[in-house]
C-alpha cells in the first residue's frame, strides 16, 4: 500500500503494508490502484490554481508537494499567517489534507512540511537553523543510501549533521550533503521552475458602437476567425469545439457553440459553421464585445492533401458532417453498425458518422424487412399450432389473408441478459397477403410451451 | 460562296430546348438500371446523375415506403461513395439495405427533427458533391424547394432521391403537384410468382414512371432488387419477350398516348 486515509490509519494500517495482509485484517477495505500519472497531473492543476490565487511563482513538487515563492505576495493576503490559514482552509474545504509551512528557504520549508509536527507553521525570518535542527537527516532530501550511511555513523538529526566538519563528510558521501545543508540554511540559492498556465486560444474584439444586425455579426465573425485559426496553426492544433460569446450592452451574454467531428482550423469552414447559428442569438440592444474561444483543441498533424500517384482518395466528408450536426445535433447523425444479436431490435447500434469502419456485417441468410416498426404492434391472427404461419391477420383494422409465407425463424431470448429472457422465444414469419404486401410477423412463444411467451402475434416489419 | 446547309426545324427546336433546360452542351452522366426495357425509356439511357428523382410508394406503401425505400436503396447501392439517408423519424432497418447491396458502412443517417430540417440537410448533402447519393424521406415538396434541390444536385453532380412518404394516406394526393424533379416514380408491390414449394417468391414491383423530363410515362413490372441492387425482368414479362417491345408494356404506352391526346 502506498497511501492510506485517516480512517485506515485509525484502523492500524500504514503505508507499506502488503495489500493481502491489510485485507486479512479488514476484509471490507476499499482499495484503489495507484495512478502516479494522474496524481502528477492533479498536482499540476492544483499548482495552477494556487498560482492564480496566491503567488506568481509556483511549482509542483512531485510526488506530494507544491512549492510557492510568496516573497512580496503575502501582504496582499494580510500577512503570512493569514495567507497560510486561508490557503489551508480552502484546500481543506475541497477535501485535501494539507501541511503548510512558510520558511526562508525551500529546503527548510520542505523538511518542516514533511517531518515537522505542526500542521501549519510560519518560521520567522532567520529562525530556520533552530527550526530544523531537531528534524531527522532524511528531511534534507538526501538519497536513501546517504541517509543510511549517516545513520550508521550515528548522525540522525540535522543539527548534529550541521555541526560536523564538512571535509570528511564530503570525502565520504560526496558534495550532496553539504549542498543540501546549505540550501536548507539559505547559504546557497535554489531556483524554482514555475508552472506555466496554458493560455486558452482566444480572440476578442470590442466595438465602439454596439452592433446588432445579423450581417454585421457575420462580418465580425469573419474578422475574428482567421486570427484564431492562425493561433491554432502556430500551436499545431485544431479545434473540436468553439464558443463565441457575445456580450450585450445590457450586461448579458449570448453564446454560440459549434462542435466539429474532427479538429478544424480551416477559417472558411469555421466561419460558415458559426454564421449558420447567428439566427439563434438575440442581440437585444446591441453587442459590444465578442470573444471567440477554441474551448477544446487537439493536436493536428500536417497531411498531404493531393497525390498524383495512387488512387483517388475518398472525399472528405467531415465538413458536411459538421454542418449537418450543428444543425440537427451530434446525436442525430450516425451510422448503423451490426451488433451480434439475433433479436432484430438489438441487432444494430448507432456509431458516430465518421467512426472507423469495421469489417463486420449482418448475416445474410434470412430476408429482412425494409422498415422495422419502433415497437412490435400486436395483431389478431389465426394460425395452426405449433409452427404454421397464420391464415389471416388483422393489423390496424385491416384484415389480410395470407397467401404464402416463409418460416418459422425461431429467435431465442438472450438468457444472459436477464431472467425474464431465460425461456422466451419468438417465431418469425415472412407473410405475403393476397394483394402482394409482405410483412414480418412473429408469435411471442414457440406455440407449444406457455413459458416461452404469451403466444400472441405481433407485426414487426414491412418488406419492400 | 455556298450557302450554309439549312438546318432542319427539328434540330433548331432541340437546340433551343436544351438551352432552355440549362444543360447546354453537357451530356449528363447516367446510372443505367441494366434493364433494356427501362433504360430505353429514360432519356440518356438511365437515371440522370446530378439530378433530383422522386419515388413514392403505391397504395398502403405511401405510408410505409418500404418498397420505395428498397428501390431507392438499390439505386444508391449502385453508385460510388457514401450515402446520406435523411429521415424525420427513423425506421429504416439497416440489415435490409445490406441485402440490396447497400452496406451499413456506406450509409450515414441524419435524423432531422422537422420537414424544414430534412430539406435543409438534403440540399446541404446534394451541394457537397462527395457523396454517391442523397436519399431523403419527405412528405411535402414544393416547387421552390424541389428547384433548389435540383439546382444543388446539378452543380455537384450528386444523385438525389426524394422518397415521398406521407404519415397519413390522404397526404398522397400531394403527389400530383408538379415539382422540378427529373423523374418521378411510383413503386407498388405485386404478388410474387407462386413457387412450386411453400414459401414466398422473389418480391415483384410495379414501377410506374409517372414523369420523366424529356421522356414518356411508362409502366414496368419487375422483380425487386437483388443482392447488388439490380432489378430483374419480371418472369411474366420475360415470357412475352417474343412480342415486340411496344406490346410488352402496352398498357403504359396506351395510357401515355391517351394522356397526350387529352393534353
pLDDT tens-place string over residues B62-80: 888 999 999 999 999 999 8
**Residue A292, strand partner residues:** A203, A244
Which pLDDT score, from 0 to 100, does residue B241 have? 39
A362·B64 Cβ contact <8 A: no
Which pLDDT score, from 0 to 100, does residue A380 have? 93
Q: Which residues of B touch A362 (CB under 8 A)?
A: 94-95, 98, 104
Mean pLDDT score across all residues of chain B: 83
Contact A376, A389 (CB under 8 A): no
A405·B199 Cβ contact <8 A: yes
Of B99, B131, B200, the CB nearest to A404: B200
Sign of CA dihedral B89, B90, B96, B101: positive
* Mutation to test the B interface, candidates A330, A352, A464, most B Cβ within 10 Å: A464
Contact A364, B139 (CB under 8 A): no
Q: Which of B189, B147, B146 is nearest to B164 (CA)?
A: B146
CA distance A41 to A62: 10
A462·B190 Cβ contact <8 A: no
Flag the least confident range among A244-248, B14-18, B176-180: B14-18
CA distance B224 to B209: 16
Between the alpha carbon of residue A317 and those of residues A265, A324, A437, B94, B249, the distances in Å are 16, 11, 38, 21, 43
What CATH number should be reported for the domain whose range is A202-299? 3.30.1490.100
For residue A389, give the C-alpha cell.
404461419
Between the alpha carbon of residue A402 and those of residues A390, A435, B190, the distances in Å are 7, 9, 14
Q: What does the H/E/C string look like for chain B?
A: CCCCCCCCHHHHHHHHHHHHHCCCCCCCCEECCCCHHHHCCCCCCCEECCEEEEEEECCCHHHHCHHHHHHHHHHHHCCCCCEEEEECCCCECHHHHHCCCCCCCCEEEEECCCHHHHHHHHHHHHHHCCCCEEEEEECCCCHHHHHHHHHHHHHHCCEEEEEECCCCHHHHHHHHCCCCCCEEEEEEEECCCCCCCCCCCCCEEEEEEEEECCCCCEEEEEECCCCCCCCEECHHHHHCCCCCHHHHCHHHHHHHHHHHHHC
CA distance A422 to A68: 63
Contact A209, A184 (CB under 8 A): no
405510408: which residue's cell? B63
410483412: which residue's cell? A439
Q: What digits encode the pLDDT tens for the residues A197-211?
A: 777 788 999 999 999
Which pLDDT score, from 0 to 100, does residue A196 have? 80
Where do the domains of chain A lie?
1-34, 36-185, 202-299, 371-462
Kindly state which CATH superfamily the domain B28-174+182-189+202-262 is placed in: P-loop containing nucleotide triphosphate hydrolases (3.40.50.300)
Task: Give the gap in angstroms from C-alpha B15 to the nearest C-alpha of chain A.
Answer: 35
Task: Give the gap in angstroms from C-alpha A275 to the nearest C-alpha of chain B.
Answer: 15
**Pairing mode of beta strands A390-395, A398-412:** antiparallel
B190·A463 Cβ contact <8 A: no
Task: Give the gap in angstroms from C-alpha A19 to the nearest C-alpha of chain B.
Answer: 48
Q: Which residues of B touch A332 (CB under 8 A)?
A: 110-113
CA distance B153 to B132: 11
Which pLDDT score, from 0 to 100, does residue A313 have? 62
Q: How confident is the model at residue A299 (pLDDT cuts 50, 70, 90)?
A: confident
Which pLDDT score, from 0 to 100, does residue B2 have? 55
CA distance B56 to B66: 10
**Pairing mode of beta strands A457-462, A438-444:** antiparallel
Of B92, B110, B199, the CB nearest to A328: B110
Q: Which residues of A touch B67 (CB under 8 A)?
A: 370, 464
Q: Does the pLDDT value for residue A444 go beyond 70?
A: yes
Q: Does the pLDDT value for residue B249 go beyond 60?
A: no
Q: Is B95 exposed, middle or buried (0-12, 13-18, 19+ CB in 10 A)?
A: buried
CA distance A369 to B96: 6
Q: What digits encode the pLDDT tens for the residues A254-292?
A: 999 998 888 888 898 899 889 988 888 898 899 999 999
Which pLDDT score, from 0 to 100, does residue B134 have? 95
Residue of A nearest to B203 (CA): A464
Whole-number CA gyration radius for chain A? 36
Of B61, B99, B191, the CB nearest to A367: B99
Q: Which residues of A touch B84 (CB under 8 A)?
A: 320
Indicate the DSSP class of residue A422: S
Which pLDDT score, from 0 to 100, does residue B8 have? 81
Q: Does the pLDDT value for residue B33 go beyond 60?
A: yes
Residue of B nearest to A325 (CA): B110
B81·A348 Cβ contact <8 A: no
For residue A216, give the C-alpha cell.
454585421
Q: What is the ipTM of this complex?
A: 0.80
Q: Does the pLDDT value for residue B161 go beyond 50?
A: yes
Nearest-10 Cα torsion for B191, B195, B201, B203: -30
Residue of B nearest to A436 (CA): B191
A369·B93 Cβ contact <8 A: yes
Mean pLDDT score across all residues of chain A: 87
B96·A369 Cβ contact <8 A: yes
Across the range B226-241, mean pLDDT stands at 69
Across the range A114-136, mean pLDDT stands at 86
Task: Give the gap in angstroms from C-alpha A335 to the nearest C-alpha of chain B.
Answer: 5
Q: What digits encode the pLDDT tens for the residues A202-243?
A: 899 999 999 989 999 999 999 999 999 999 988 888 888 999
Q: Does the pLDDT value for residue A311 go beyond 60?
A: no
Residue of B nearest to A317 (CA): B130
Q: Which residues of A touch B121 (CB under 8 A)?
A: 324, 327-328
Q: What digits encode the pLDDT tens for the residues A408-426?
A: 899 999 988 888 888 899 9
410477423: which residue's cell? A441
Which pLDDT score, from 0 to 100, does residue B244 have? 38
Of A333, A344, A362, the CB nearest to B110: A333
Q: Which residues of B touch A403 (CB under 8 A)?
A: 191
Q: Which residues of B touch A333 (CB under 8 A)?
A: 108-111
Across the range A351-359, mean pLDDT stands at 83
Q: Does the pLDDT value for residue A386 go beyond 90?
A: no
Which pLDDT score, from 0 to 100, does residue B257 have? 40
Across the range A44-58, mean pLDDT stands at 86
Of A316, A321, A335, the CB nearest to B104: A335
Question: 3-state class of A183 per DSSP?
Answer: helix
Q: What digits encode the pLDDT tens for the residues B107-146?
A: 999 999 899 999 999 999 999 988 999 999 999 899 999 9
497511501: which residue's cell? A3
Q: How confident is the model at residue B53 (pLDDT cuts 50, 70, 90)?
A: very high
Which pLDDT score, from 0 to 100, does residue B216 have? 87
* Percent of residues, chain B, with pLDDT higher than 90: 41
Where do the domains of chain B lie?
28-174+182-189+202-262
CA distance A60 to A47: 6
**Residue B133, strand partner residues:** B83, B159
B108·A404 Cβ contact <8 A: no
Across the range B240-247, mean pLDDT stands at 39
Q: Does the pLDDT value for residue B5 go beyond 80?
A: no
Q: How confident is the model at residue A134 (pLDDT cuts 50, 70, 90)?
A: confident
Task: Give the gap in angstroms from C-alpha A354 to the nearest C-alpha of chain B.
Answer: 9
pTM: 0.70
**Pairing mode of beta strands B51-57, B159-164:** parallel
Q: Which residues of A touch B105 (CB under 8 A)?
A: 335, 357
CA distance A56 to A192: 11
For residue A213, give the C-alpha cell.
444586425
Which pLDDT score, from 0 to 100, does residue B179 have? 92
Across the range A55-61, mean pLDDT stands at 86
* A320 alpha-carbon distance from chain centroid: 26
Across the range A354-373, mean pLDDT stands at 86
415472412: which residue's cell? A430
Q: How confident is the model at residue A28 (pLDDT cuts 50, 70, 90)?
A: confident
* Mutation to test the A interface, candidates B120, B200, B221, most A Cβ within 10 Å: B200
Q: Which of B178, B179, B153, B155 is nearest to B51 (CA)?
A: B153
Amino acid at each position: 500500500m502506498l497511501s492510506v486515509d485517516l480512517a485506515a490509519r485509525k484502523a492500524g494500517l500504514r503505508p507499506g503494508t502488503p495489500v493481502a495482509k491489510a485485507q486479512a485484517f479488514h476484509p471490507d477495505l476499499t482499495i484503489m490502484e495507484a495512478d502516479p500519472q494522474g496524481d502528477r497531473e492533479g498536482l499540476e492543476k492544483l499548482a495552477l490554481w494556487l498560482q492564480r490565487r496566491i503567488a506568481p511563482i509556483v511549482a509542483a513538487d512531485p510526488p506530494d508537494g507544491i512549492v510557492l515563492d510568496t516573497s512580496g505576495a503575502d501582504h496582499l493576503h494580510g500577512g503570512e499567517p493569514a495567507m497560510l490559514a486561508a490557503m489551508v482552509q480552502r484546500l481543506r474545504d475541497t477535501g485535501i489534507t494539507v501541511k503548510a509551512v512558510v520558511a526562508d528557504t525551500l529546503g527548510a520549508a520542505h523538511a518542516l512540511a514533511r517531518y515537522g509536527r505542526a500542521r501549519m507553521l510560519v518560521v520567522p525570518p532567520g529562525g530556520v537553523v533552530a527550526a530544523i535542527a531537531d528534524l531527522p537527516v532524511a528531511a534534507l532530501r538526501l538519497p536513501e543510501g546517504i541517509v543510511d550511511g549517516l545513520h550508521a555513523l550515528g548522525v540522525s538529526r540535522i543539527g548534529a549533521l550541521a555541526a560536523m566538519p564538512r571535509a570528511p563528510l564530503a570525502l565520504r558521501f560526496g558534495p550532496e550533503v553539504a549542498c543540501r545543508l546549505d540550501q536548507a540554511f539559505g547559504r546557497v540559492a535554489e531556483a524554482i521552475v514555475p508552472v506555466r498556465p496554458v493560455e486558452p486560444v482566444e480572440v476578442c474584439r470590442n466595438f465602439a458602437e454596439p452592433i446588432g444586425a445579423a450581417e454585421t455579426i457575420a462580418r465580425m465573425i469573419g474578422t475574428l476567425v482567421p486570427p484564431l485559426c492562425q493561433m491554432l496553426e502556430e500551436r499545431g492544433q485544431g479545434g473540436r469545439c468553439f464558443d463565441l460569446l457575445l456580450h450585450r450592452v445590457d450586461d448579458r451574454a449570448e453564446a454560440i457553440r459549434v462542435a466539429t467531428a474532427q479538429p478544424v482550423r480551416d477559417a472558411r469552414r469555421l466561419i460558415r459553421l458559426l454564421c449558420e447559428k447567428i439566427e439563434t442569438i438575440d442581440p437585444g440592444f446591441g453587442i459590444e464585445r465578442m470573444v471567440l474561444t477554441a474551448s477544446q483543441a487537439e493536436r493536428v498533424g500536417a497531411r498531404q492533401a493531393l497525390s498524383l500517384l495512387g488512387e483517388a482518395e475518398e472525399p472528405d466528408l467531415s465538413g458536411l458532417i459538421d454542418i449537418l450536426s450543428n444543425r440537427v445535433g451530434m446525436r442525430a447523425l450516425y451510422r448503423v453498425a451490426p451488433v451480434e444479436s439475433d433479436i432484430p431490435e438489438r441487432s444494430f447500434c448507432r456509431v458516430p458518422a465518421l467512426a472507423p469502419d469495421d469489417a463486420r456485417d449482418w448475416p445474410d441468410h434470412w430476408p429482412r424487412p425494409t422498415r422495422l416498426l419502433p415497437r412490435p404492434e400486436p395483431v389478431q391472427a389465426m394460425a395452426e399450432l405449433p409452427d404454421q404461419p397464420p391464415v389471416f391477420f388483422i393489423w390496424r383494422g385491416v384484415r389480410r389473408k395470407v397467401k404464402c409465407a416463409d418460416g418459422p425463424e425461431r429467435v431465442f431470448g438472450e438468457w444472459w441478459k436477464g431472467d425474464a429472457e431465460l425461456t422466451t422465444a419468438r417465431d418469425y414469419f415472412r407473410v405475403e397477403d393476397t394483394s402482394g404486401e409482405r410483412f414480418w410477423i412473429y408469435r411471442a412463444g414457440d406455440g407449444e410451451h406457455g413459458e416461452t411467451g404469451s403466444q400472441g402475434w405481433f407485426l414487426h416489419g414491412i418488406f419492400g | 460562296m455556298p450557302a450554309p446547309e439549312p438546318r432542319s426545324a427539328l434540330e433548331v427546336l432541340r437546340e433551343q430546348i436544351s438551352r432552355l433546360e440549362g444543360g447546354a452542351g453537357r451530356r449528363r452522366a447516367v446510372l443505367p438500371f441494366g434493364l433494356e426495357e427501362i433504360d430505353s425509356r429514360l432519356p440518356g439511357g438511365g437515371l440522370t446523375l446530378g439530378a433530383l428523382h422522386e419515388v413514392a410508394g403505391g397504395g398502403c406503401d405511401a405510408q410505409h415506403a418500404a418498397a420505395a425505400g428498397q428501390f431507392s436503396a438499390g439505386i444508391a447501392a449502385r453508385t460510388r461513395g457514401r450515402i446520406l439517408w435523411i429521415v424525420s423519424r427513423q425506421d429504416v432497418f439497416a440489415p435490409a439495405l445490406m441485402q440490396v447491396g447497400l452496406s451499413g458502412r456506406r450509409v450515414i443517417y441524419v435524423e432531422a427533427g422537422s420537414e424544414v430540417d430534412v430539406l435543409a440537410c438534403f440540399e446541404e448533402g446534394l451541394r457537397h458533391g462527395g457523396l454517391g447519393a442523397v436519399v431523403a424521406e419527405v412528405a411535402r415538396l414544393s416547387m421552390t424547394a424541389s428547384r433548389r434541390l435540383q439546382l444543388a444536385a446539378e452543380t455537384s453532380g450528386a444523385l438525389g432521391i426524394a422518397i415521398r412518404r406521407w404519415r397519413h394516406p390522404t397526404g398522397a394526393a400531394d403527389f400530383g403537384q408538379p415539382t422540378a424533379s427529373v423523374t418521378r416514380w411510383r413503386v407498388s408491390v405485386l404478388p410474387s410468382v407462386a413457387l412450386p414449394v411453400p414459401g414466398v417468391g422473389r418480391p415483384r414491383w410495379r414501377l410506374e414512371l409517372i414523369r420523366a423530363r424529356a421522356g414518356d410515362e411508362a409502366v414496368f413490372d419487375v422483380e425487386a432488387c437483388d443482392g447488388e441492387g439490380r432489378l430483374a425482368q419480371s418472369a411474366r414479362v420475360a415470357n412475352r419477350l417474343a412480342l415486340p417491345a411496344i406490346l410488352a408494356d402496352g398498357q403504359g404506352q396506351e395510357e401515355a398516348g391517351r394522356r397526350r391526346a387529352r393534353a
